[in-house]
């Protein structure tokens, strides 16, 4: 979404909201949806939503609307009812002015701790562990899927000589596939 040619990639993207509820991205000169804005948030693209008629900043309302749609989408809800009740009870409370900074700091701490945990996990298993795990999972998936294919669609492949744990698993899976094929005859 960032327009490299304009040289204003550090400035937030300006999105105008029209009376007909359409959103217009002024950087890309195109109409967008709330889903596009949600994706921009996930990608770290800064934007500001302005009311096209008044010029007022309505970014807060649009972000709140995105959260409402995410919560109502039928998927897993992130905001528990108890939290929502407590949040609502803070409106009008003497502590209301402190809540935005507190919630923002809490979220930043959560994200920092999440990143530290991911980094520690990656360091503990080594840099190649994820690719090995993915290869193993894919091999097991292919072997399981081929067991359900009609005879003749998936030809058994000769297994290589085991040189690692993954190769040993592949050999075992190939042998299991061969036995399943024989049983299917």
Q: What is the per-residue pLDDT for 143?
A: 67
Enter the pTM of the model.
0.59
Q: How far apart are CA 121 and CA 119, in angstroms?
A: 5
Domain positions in the chain are: 4-72, 136-184
* The predicted structure's pLDDT at residue 27: 96
Among 69, 47, 71, 67, smallest CA distance to 59 is for 47
pLDDT digits (tens, 9 = 90+) for 112-170: 988 888 888 777 776 666 667 777 777 777 766 655 555 554 444 554 444 566 777 77
Tens of pLDDT, residue by residue over 23-58, are 999 999 999 999 999 999 999 999 999 999 999 999
Tell me the sheet residues that pair with 49: 15
The residue ranking higher by pLDDT, 129 or 74, is 74
pLDDT of residue 161: 47
Provide the pLDDT for residue 149. 57
The per-residue pLDDT for 167 is 73
Task: Give the per-residue pLDDT at 177.
Answer: 74
Nearest alpha carbon to residue 50 among 38, 40, 60, 65:
60
């Amino acid at each position: 979404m960032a327009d490299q040619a304009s040289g204003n990639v550090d400035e937030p993207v300006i999105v105008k909201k029209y009376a007909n509820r359409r959103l217009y991205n002024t950087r890309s000169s195109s109409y967008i949806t709330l889903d596009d804005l949600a994706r921009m948030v996930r990608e770290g693209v800064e934007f500001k939503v302005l009311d096209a008629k008044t010029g007022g900043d309505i970014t807060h309302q649009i972000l709140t609307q995105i959260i409402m749609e995410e919560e109502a989408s039928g998927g897993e809800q992130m905001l528990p009812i108890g939290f929502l009740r407590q949040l609502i009870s803070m409106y009008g409370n003497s502590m209301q002015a402190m809540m935005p900074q507190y919630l923002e700091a809490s979220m930043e701490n959560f994200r920092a701790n999440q990143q530290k945990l991911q980094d520690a996990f990656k360091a503990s298993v080594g840099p190649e562990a994820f690719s090995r795990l993915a290869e193993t999972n894919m091999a097991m998936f292919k072997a399981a899927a081929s067991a359900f294919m009609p005879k003749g669609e998936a030809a058994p492949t000769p297994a290589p000589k085991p040189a690692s744990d993954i190769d040993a698993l592949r050999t075992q899976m190939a042998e299991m596939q061969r036995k399943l094929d024989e049983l299917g005859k």
